[in-house]
């Protein structure tokens, strides 16, 4: 679990990306599973605070044990202190989270996306950051999340469970950011996970994938659950840059 923290850089060419949002930088974090502050998180804090994203997106499981939420949320706030992207800090809840996290995080400038979208207009175009409520799978409501999103908007969707990508693709979402799987957390030397926690193919437990015109980015996350270790599956934070494809 104690690999040297590194922010991995990822460039996504997006055909529908408006010129006004070219080179948008998103810091994507997921599955922190924080219970308390430790030297591990102090090392990650130093790395994360060097990032200069335009937007912070956290796709669930910020904490691990609901009954320790007060200690957990204090650790989350400490970890992310000093990260203040111009477009904002957005999060959704995962299956390990509790609703008691919401108010303390909102007080620190984080915005919960609860089956809803935030729209950023620039010039004649709009960027929609959409968050699915996935504290439980049955809470997911894609139509409600898209209620104020227009077909021509460039759509970024935050989801906890990656296998919701099919519904997102059907809704015309351009980029999906997800977590939940931990990349398997315990993998064989070739990277094949022993557990998936998801209905997608085992080759889609982590990494970047395309479903028709939709990018799916599945982040391995920083924390652990169950066994307090990772094997052939290092922790991950992503700095994603969206770019317009080069004109041929």
Q: What is the pTM of this model?
A: 0.95
List, as one string, the DSSP characters of 93-127.
--TT--GGGHHHHHHTTEEE-SSEEEEEEETTEEE
The verdict on residue 69 lying in a domain is: yes
Task: Answer whether residue 4 is part of any domain.
Answer: no
CA distances from 138 to 115, 179, 183, 245 (A): 12, 17, 23, 37
Task: Locate 113 and state its tokens.
Answer: 């996306």
What order of strands is seen across the sheet that includes strand 110-112?
A: 7-13, 237-243, 24-29, 55-59, 89-92, 110-112
Q: Give buried/exposed letters for 172-211 (b at 16+ CB in 10 A, else e).
A: bbbbbbbbbbbbbbbbeeeeebeebbbebebebbbeebeb
Give the domain CATH number at 96. 3.60.21.10
Residue 20 DSSP symbol: G
Q: Does any domain span residue 1?
A: no
- Closest of 184, 124, 131 to residue 153, by C-alpha: 124
User: How far is Cα 204 from Cα 197, in angstroms, rounded to an integer?
Assistant: 11
Which ranges of the chain have pLDDT less than 50?
1
In a domain, 2, yes or no: no
pLDDT at 248: 60
How do strand 116-122 and strand 110-112 relate by DSSP bridges?
unpaired
How many structural domains compose the chain? 1
Which structural domain, as residue segments, surrounds residue 152? 9-243
CA dist., res. 126 & res. 158, Å (int): 17
Which residues of 104-236 form beta strands (DSSP E)? 110-112, 116-122, 125-131, 154-158, 175-178, 207-211, 214-218
How much is the pLDDT for 237? 98
Residue 149, in any domain of the structure: yes
Task: Please report whether residue 216 resides in a domain.
Answer: yes
Structure confidence at residue 2 (pLDDT): 52
Does residue 248 belong to any structural domain of this protein? no
């Amino acid at each position: 679990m104690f690999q040297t923290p590194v922010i991995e850089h990822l460039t996504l060419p997006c055909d529908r990306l408006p010129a006004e949002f070219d080179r948008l930088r998103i810091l994507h974090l997921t599955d922190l599973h924080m219970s308390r502050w430790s030297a591990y998180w102090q090392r990650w804090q130093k790395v994360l605070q060097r990032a200069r994203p335009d937007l912070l997106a956290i796709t669930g499981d910020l904490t691990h044990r609901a009954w320790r939420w007060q200690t957990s949320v204090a650790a989350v706030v400490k970890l992310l202190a000093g990260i203040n992207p111009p477009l904002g800090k957005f999060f959704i809840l995962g299956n390990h989270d509790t609703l008691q996290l919401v108010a303390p995080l909102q007080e620190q400038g984080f915005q919960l996306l609860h089956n809803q979208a935030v729209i950023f207009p620039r010039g004649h175009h709009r960027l929609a950051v959409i968050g699915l409520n996935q504290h439980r799978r049955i809470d997911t409501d894609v139509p409600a999340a898209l209620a104020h999103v227009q077909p021509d908007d460039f759509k970024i969707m935050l989801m906890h469970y990656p296998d919701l990508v099919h519904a997102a693709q059907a809704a015309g979402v351009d980029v999906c950011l997800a977590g939940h799987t931990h990349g398997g957390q315990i993998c064989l030397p070739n990277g094949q996970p022993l557990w998936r926690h998801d209905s997608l193919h085992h080759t889609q437990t982590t990494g970047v994938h395309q479903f028709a015109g939709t990018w799916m980015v599945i982040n391995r996350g920083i924390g652990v659950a169950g066994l307090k270790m990772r094997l052939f599956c290092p922790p991950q934070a992503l700095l994603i840059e969206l770019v317009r494809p080069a004109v041929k």
